[in-house]
Amino acid sequence: MKDFLQLARRGGLLFDGAMGSLLYERGVFLTNCFEAVNLSQPELVRQIHQEYLQAGARVLTTNTFGANAYRLARHGLADKADEINRAGVRLAIEVAGGGAFVAGSVGPTGLGLEALAGEEGPRAEAALRAHLEVLLDAGVDVVCLETFYVLAELEMAVRLAKSLTDKPVVAQYTFQPDGLGKGGLTPEQVGRRLVEAGADVVGANCGGGPDLLYNVTVPMVPLGVPVMAQANAGRPEVIEGRAIYVANPEYFGVFARRLLKAGVKVLGGCCGTNPEHIRRMAGAARMFAADDRHRPTIEGGEAGGPAGRKVELPLGERGTFAGKIARGEFVTSVELNPPVGFDLGKRIEAAKALRDFGVTSINIADGPRASLRMTNLAMALSVAQATGLEPLLHVCCRDRNFLGLQAHVLGCHALGIRNLVIITGDPPKMGDYPNATAVYDVDSVGLLNVVTGYNNAVDPAGKPMPEPTKFLKITGAEPAALDYDRELRRLEMKRDAGAEAVMTQPVYDPRIAERFLDDTRSLGLPILLGVIPLASFRNATFIHKNIPGMQMPAYVLERMEQADAAGRGQEEGIAIAREALGAFRDRIQGAYIMPPFDRHKVAMAVLDGFL
């Protein structure tokens, strides 16, 4: 099962959601033993597993959570423990069919710390050992210890599992609503103890909704093993005598992306979640590429045309901007975004001024920060016609399904827009329309593969196209990403998918920029270093606190604060941006300037002397 741990370390590995609350919703009364349903209604358990698999789960969890002798004895079923557990494993394996891992679920005995420390301790240990032995013998791929409130019992279960198998062991603790364990233990302390006990994956489940699980799992990330989070669907509300979870599945998609971006590697759902919650989380998991199962590929070869022949035009023959990249010339791009209204006059005048100043091109974001603007394609076409510039058009995977994305990209080519900046995109929850649906049928790697296929006259289904497209494919990168290793892996994947240049997020710490340039040199991709000339200390603080991957060194914040006090915040922001470009001018192939509030003259001040 090295594959499981390999995927867990890479990130985006998705478990399924709740079993017990779904059985309850489908007619199994609370007074019944949910695990015994493996014997009495196996088709119901099989159906739930199938729904989770279809929703995108990569790991199916057996319906064996409470199938230890202690808990089964409450229902008079202690003598059925072996049969119940084997049936639970068999049902999950049948549905997984080799296309998903099967995790053997093991819950606590339900005894408190005092009982465990007394005469009941050896009996509890024997019950957990017997539970683990039958699951392992039945053929689970992974041991999943979950919903343990007593840390000492969870540590005991981890040690037992590690003594019985070399298969991966997942250990999930359940925290109190205040975010601490019993006795006031912090998440970091809990995680460290589980690692010391031998757990291969640590984390938390149950106990609360997404916010709580975020707060208790992210502190475990620095411990050096994959971290897992499985939140409840909020807190249950009693409606007509039934406990109903009312959290919006869409929020779970946003929550999943937040967790993955913060370094949590393994996700799933707990009480109250259903296949729709997992489906929304799967959209986020696809972006973090735990595996290639959901990534569109080009049938017949990513680099070849219909007959396997590479027909993509050389970079230098795909336009003025692409030609400069191919020749190794220093290029510059300034970001100008569509206005709130419909009048493009000021944007066109700004583009003309930038052209006359010597800027190579402008780039136009696609709904930045999930805000509402006119389509950037309309602005790009207007700017190109009025100025002769070749705009760089951002294409975001958030708002269009797979068919819509392809139609949009092909329409860009027909209108003469050939320079694409392909990005995954911010979730709608960040903008003014949090109820808008985030699609994410593909991520930036998937769309790069598609456009590379177009350049080779083949569509994603492997069908030949009448002629190849002539796109320049640019991608993004975050030099200050919280999960830096993942960012480098993703950038390598983007290169392999056809990316031909990189535009970075702003970098304010020269040590981070230097590390990134050193680590990406072997990829052979031209780098356009991103810079936001800070407008004020308030602007700097907002970016530092609210935009992932744009952390500011303390000395930059201090400089901006002092400059603001002297009434020269904007001038200091320009100076800091110029210093960043000057320090790395010889190691980059271009500058990507993002002036705040579309102040193009600020961008000109930053670039003065660099053109």
In this prediction, residue 301 carries a pLDDT of 36
- Would you say residue 295 lies in a domain? no
Please, which residues bridge with residue 101 across strands? 59
Q: What pLDDT, on a 0 to 100 scale, did the predictor assign at position 1? A: 44
CA dihedral 104, 110, 114, 115 (to 10 degrees): -90
Q: Characterize the bridge pairing of strands 331-335 and 419-423.
A: unpaired
- Rounded to the nearest 5 degrees, what angle is found at the Cα of 425, between the Cα atoms of 418 and 263? 135
Which residue type, as a one-letter code, is found at position 234?
A: G
- Do 269 and 206 fall within a single domain? yes
Is-contact 531 591, C-beta < 8 A? yes
Cα gap 322→303, rounded to integer Å: 19
Q: Within this chain, do residues 392 and 261 fall inside the same structural domain, yes or no?
A: no
- Same-domain check for residues 246 and 324: no
- Residues 471 and 356: their CA atoms lie apart, in Å, by 25
**Cα–Cα distance, 479 to 496 (Å, whole number):** 19
Helix (H, G, I), strand (E, B) or coil at 563: helix
Please measure the distance between the N-terminal and C-terminal CA atoms of the chain and give it in whole angstroms: 54
User: Closest Cα partner for 67 from 98, 89, 50?
Assistant: 89
Same domain, 97 and 53: yes
213 in a domain, yes or no? Answer: yes
The per-residue pLDDT for 92 is 97
Query: What's the angle, vertex CA 482, arms to CA 478 and CA 488, rounded to 5?
Result: 50
Q: For residue 296, tell me if it sits in a domain.
A: no
- Identify whether residues 460 and 527 lie together within a single domain: yes
Whether residue 58 is contained in a domain is answered as yes
* CATH code of the domain in which 14 resides: 3.20.20.330
Same domain, 263 and 148: yes
CATH code, 514: 3.20.20.220
Whether 224 and 329 map to the same domain: the answer is no
Query: Is 422 a member of any domain?
Result: yes
Average confidence (pLDDT) per 10 residues, the chain, 611 residues: 82 94 88 93 96 95 94 92 97 94 95 77 89 97 96 96 97 96 95 98 94 94 96 67 60 85 93 92 71 40 41 94 97 95 95 98 87 92 97 94 95 97 78 71 89 94 92 96 86 94 93 96 97 94 79 92 96 96 95 93 96 87
Pick from 251, 271, 287: which residue ends a domain?
287
Shared domain for 420 and 540, answered yes or no, is yes
What is the C-alpha to C-alpha distance for residues 394 and 387, in angstroms, rounded to an integer? 19
Query: Which element (helix H / strand E) includes 268?
Result: strand 266-269
Q: Is residue 298 part of a domain?
A: no
Say if residues 142 and 101 touch (Cβ distance below 8 Å): yes
Same domain, yes or no: 322 and 229: no
Same domain, 261 and 363: no
Give me the domain span that covers residue 266. Answer: 2-287
323, 473 contact by CB (below 8 A):
no
Which DSSP letter does residue 203 get?
E
Structural domain count, the chain: 2
Residue 145 carries which DSSP code?
Answer: E
Sheet holding 13-14, edge to edge: 13-14, 266-269, 227-231, 201-205, 169-173, 142-148, 101-106, 59-61
Please answer whether residues 201 and 266 qualify as being in contact, where contact means their C-beta atoms are separated by less than 8 angstroms.
yes
State whether 244 and 326 are in the same domain.
no
Q: Let me know if residue 310 belongs to a domain.
A: no
CB 379 within 8 A of CB 338: yes
Residue 39 lies in a domain: yes
Tokens of 20: 């017990």
Residues 349 and 252 in one domain: no
- For residue 465, give the DSSP letter: P
Of the three residues 287, 304, 335, the one that is the final residue of a domain is 287
User: Is 0.75 topped by the overall pTM?
Assistant: no
